[in-house]
Amino acid sequence: MEVRWLRSKFSAVVHLYSDGKDQSGEQMLEYQGRTELMKDNITNGRVSLRIHDIRPSDDGQYTCFFQSGDFYEDTLLELQVAVPHRCLG
């Protein structure tokens, strides 16, 4: 089974899970140490990616690729990051 999260704009790896473990070798430097694949429902084919320490630069399109044997599926999502408003004064 392989789960691959990519930045659609860059086709670069945000998170890779393969051979039963997280793989960091291809991961973009900007995401190292900040991503966590939520595997609670992985046996049901459902996974989520948690990005810690979210940044404005994380805003944009992501693609998740899931493959297990002959089964393959992908989905596209848009992450919108809003910077909190701060009152000065």
3-state secondary structure 44-84: HCCCEEEECCCCHHHCEEEEEEEEECCEEEEEEEEECCCCC
Expressed in angstroms, the distance from the first to the final Cα of the chain is 53
pLDDT, tens digit (0-9, with 9 covering 90-100), for 22-75: 999 999 999 999 999 999 988 777 889 999 999 999 999 999 999 989 989 999
Pick the closest to residue 61 from 13, 17, 3, 6 (CA basis). Answer: 6
| pLDDT of res. 89 | 65
CATH superfamily assigned to domain 2-79: Immunoglobulins (2.60.40.10)
Q: What is the pTM of this model?
A: 0.86
Does residue 81 surpass a pLDDT of 70? yes
pLDDT-derived band of residue 86, with 50, 70 and 90 as boundaries? confident
Dist CA 8 CA 12 (whole Å):
8
User: What value does the mean pLDDT take over residues 75-83?
Assistant: 91
Domain ranges of the chain: 2-79
